[in-house]
Structure 1
Amino acid sequence: MTQEKPDGKIFNDSIHGHIVLRPLLVRIIDTPQFQRLRNIKQLGGAYFVYPGASHNRFEHSIGVGYLGGEFVKSLQSRQPELNIDDRDILCVEIAGLCHDLGHGPFSHLYDRMFIPKACRGIKWKHENASIKMFDHLVEVNKLEEMSDDKDGQSLKEDRVFIKELILGHPLESPELNTSSTPWPYKGRNEEKSFLYEIVANKLNGIDVDKFDYFARDCHHLGMKNNFDHRRLFKFARVCEYNKRRHICFRDKEVGNLYDMFYTRNLLHRRAYQHKVNKNIEIMITDALLKADPYIKIQGSDKKKFTLSKAIHDMEAYTKLTDQVLEKITNPDFEEQKEAMKDANKIVQRIFSRKLYKFLGEAKKQEEQPGKQMEVKIPEATTESLKEKLREGEGRPDQEIFEVVVVTLDYGMKDKDPIKNTYFYKKSDHKIAFTLSRDKVSKLLPERFSEQIIRVYWKSDEGSSEAKKRYMSWCEDNGFKVILRNDM
């Protein structure tokens, strides 16, 4: 529900309560490019596992835009010397609002599972599409001279800044900017370096994007969220570290931050990487791959694009949402129905809960207790498992199974994210420092990342023999089965 207000609109959000968004943000929300997010599930296939996970990228994006503004406003009120102006706040709000414009059907399923298989060799992320979609939104809705009603100033010069905020790194380079390099950003000078740590924080992952989706996902999944972002806002300050300004937190908040990263890990274990959720997402991916050549989406200049090629045309991409499943089950033309019958069979299997067989999951056993072992499962290891599973199943290239490597971490691969987080003491608000593990707790994890390997069997036949081969491979390669389907 929204309500008109002289300086914007009031939205009643299920997580943040009644929030006010200024007129320019509402103008962006009321475009087809933003409205499409209503039809993209936040958690992809998890809706088929958790009935409450029906929320979409639309409300999450509004929440991130709101929290971005609240975070930077709290810094502005606490530290006037930072010279944060209203344009800075507005740009952060727009970046938060538009950071997920580039998501495709079923969110991360599209960019992490479908595109890598449909367009092999192409490195494409939804963040890249968010930048292209933002430009497209501005141009087709004639927002080139967009301004906020408060000052009437155009934000034309700030488009680069907004896109940098969305990416979390310079437009020209995806590499993380460090204090040892010259200032690479174009949107703001080095005095305002801290602004790049609010929407997409590549330094340590502490940003408003996570603040919103932790709270929102836990709410809809029916899980407890132990992390309090509102408290963190109160203890955030900007301090200088290695000649560059960063967002820092009171040293006593380190426990709250570890709770945040633990919550992330828990969400991945219980929901995002749930074995049935991944099964369904594999099936949706297979259906999209089989339907890809036959579904045509009209884009610019009346050109037609397939599901995988639509990433190259934002007019076509605007029309691409979760509703693609409807196009598979109820095609527009009779010839499409025949061409997509295999894709339709997979979707119908999802609806009738006749899923692929889950053979089990395993993780590498420690060779010696206490010895640090390799976290990442090498590609050669997964290839050897595939070869084992192919034995006796016809041609070597016949894929009737899916081997999935699941990574569970604290957001910074195998690194402790707190190592790149800066703190200050109550007695001195200006000096920033890092905290070593021994000064935090002896109860912290020994490792911050692990990988498990799963196998899903797609065929109606042969799963019993495949399971035996899988168990045999695990035993021969030092993997311990931690979960299996006892058939």
Structure 2
Amino acid sequence: RDALFLGIGRQHDHNRYMKSVKVIFDEDGLKTISPPEKDKDHIRENILELRKTLHRFAYQHKTVKKLEQHMIDILMLFNKHATVTGTNNRRMSIAEAALEVDLVAYPKLTDMLVETRLLEAEEEGLKEACQLYQKTFIQRKLMRNVLIWWLPPAEEVAQRLPTTQQFLREMWELYDQSGPSRPSKDFARDEVRCVDAKLHYGMKQVDPIKKIVFHDKQGQPRLFEDHDANPLRQKFFVLWSPPDELEQTDVPQRLSMAAMGVASTYTTEPETTPVSPLRRKSRSGDLEASPPPSTPKVRLRQKRQLQVESSYPVNTEIFERKPA
């Protein structure tokens, strides 16, 4: 259904799959559902890759991530004043009804309950939440992209990849160390958020193909391992709703440059490679080996291209180091 409405071609035939599978014993003697080995590429391309595509195009799209953050803010404001009736006519906040799983109040927590009260805007206590809903969901004034960064595969970098909180800490350190000659206006730093998207086959870093027991034409179990598979790709979204007075200042560009500076530190890995000794010909035509070098030569592995996006054009002149 989702692939159809997103315009993504789907080639997987569930009926054909169910007709081709068998129940066989695996290496531990347990019964397992086994597809034929000829379907390995089909399962990879039309099931596993389709899942990643749907998450990239829809479920974890940058606009979805922004709307999720806005909805969190709206529900936090909504929860302060909105109540529902629970067991024994007890008035409960929506958070209490959800956490306590009240048998009367919990079924009332639907999208229609929240959306109707936000659109009607009849309650004075919900005024702030209603205004934020109108601005973000109705007028579509969403957060801006300070930076969108495709993280490199973990095996390609020497250091551990950062978490979202660690990325923000390093970004603020770089932001404070560098800046323009004139001071910038203050703003609430907790409004700058970093959220991640994990695109995988359903088992994070594990390739599901390794877990499937296939069978050959004789019905014997077979296992496969695809060394070219890329089961997990991670993406960071640094989002911010800048106040109107800061939109035309250098703050958004500085934030974008600081975030890009942190991301760039995770794109190279030092690699130590011994230098091959050169051979030269003697006058007699025989080859003579030159003495090996005393120390190996250290070189940097070729840089992976930094995959980033930003709503703000980056100007390197505003991100110079402050004089010591």
Same fold (TM over 0.5): yes
The answer for the alignment partner of 2:274 in structure 1 is none
User: 1:372, 1:273 → 2: CA distance?
Assistant: 25
Q: Which moved more, 1:232-241 or 1:378-387?
A: 378-387
Is 1:485 the counterpart of 2:311? The answer is yes
Give TM-score, length-normalised by structure 2.
0.70
Give deviations 1:5-25, integer Å, cap 9, x for gaps. Answer: xxxxxxxxxxxxxxxxxxxxx
Is 1:459 the counterpart of 2:249? The answer is no
- Which of 392, 409, 428 in structure 1 is aligned with 2:200? 409
User: 2:158, 2:55 → 1: CA distance?
Assistant: 22
Give deviations 1:79-125, integer Å, cap 9, x for gaps. Answer: xxxxxxxxxxxxxxxxxxxxxxxxxxxxxxxxxxxxxxxxxxxxxxx
SS at match of 1:308: helix
CA contact (8 A) 1:363 1:453 kept: yes
The answer for the alignment partner of 1:330 in structure 2 is 120
CA contact (8 A) 1:408 1:451 kept: yes
Label 1:366 to 1:237 Cα distance change in 2 as closer, same or farther (>3 A).
closer
- Which of 249, 261, 274 in structure 1 is aligned with 2:35? 249
CA contact (8 A) 2:175 2:255 kept: no
SS at match of 2:70: helix
User: 2:118, 2:171 → 1: CA distance?
Assistant: 30
CA contact (8 A) 2:146 2:255 kept: no
The answer for the alignment partner of 2:211 in structure 1 is 420
- Which of 122, 128, 141 in structure 2 is aligned with 1:342? 128
- Which of 211, 226, 233 in structure 2 is aligned with 1:437? 226
User: 1:346, 1:245 → 2: CA distance?
Assistant: 54
**Identity across the alignment (%):** 23
Give TM-score, length-normalised by structure 1.
0.48
Is 1:400 the counterpart of 2:191? The answer is yes
- Which of 320, 324, 337 in structure 1 is aligned with 2:109? 320
Q: Which runs of 5+ in 2 are unaligned?
A: 177-183, 267-305, 314-324
Deviation, 1:371, is: 3.7
Q: How many aligned residue pairs are there? A: 257
User: 1:414, 1:449 → 2: CA distance?
Assistant: 5
User: 1:465, 1:306 → 2: CA distance?
Assistant: 38
Map 1:2-151 → 2, pairs under 5 A: none
CA contact (8 A) 2:146 2:240 kept: yes
Give deviations 1:18-58, integer Å, cap 9, x for gaps. Answer: xxxxxxxxxxxxxxxxxxxxxxxxxxxxxxxxxxxxxxxxx
Deviation, 1:436, is: 2.3
The answer for the alignment partner of 2:297 in structure 1 is none
User: 1:239, 1:376 → 2: CA distance?
Assistant: 41
- Which of 473, 477, 480 in structure 1 is aligned with 2:259? 473
User: 2:162, 2:231 → 1: CA distance?
Assistant: 15
Deviation, 1:225, is: 1.8
Label 1:366 to 1:321 Cα distance change in 2 as closer, same or farther (>3 A).
closer
Supply the AA of the counterpart residue of 1:273.
Answer: Q
The answer for the alignment partner of 1:280 in structure 2 is 67
Q: Which has the higher helix share?
A: 1
Deviation, 1:251, is: 0.9
Give deviations 1:339-387, integer Å, cap 9, x for gaps. Answer: 22221122101201211222220134579xx846678533552241563
Deviation, 1:390, is: 8.2
Label 1:423 to 1:315 Cα distance change in 2 as closer, same or farther (>3 A).
farther
Supply the AA of the counterpart residue of 2:95.
Answer: S
Deviation, 1:413, is: 0.7
Provide the aligned C-alpha RMSD in A: 2.8
User: 2:237, 2:175 → 1: CA distance?
Assistant: 15
Label 1:486 to 1:226 Cα distance change in 2 as closer, same or farther (>3 A).
farther
CA contact (8 A) 1:388 1:469 kept: no
Deviation, 1:269, is: 0.9
Q: Which runs of 5+ in 1 are unaligned?
A: 1-215, 439-443
SS at match of 2:260: helix
CA contact (8 A) 1:407 1:449 kept: yes
User: 2:6, 2:174 → 1: CA distance?
Assistant: 35
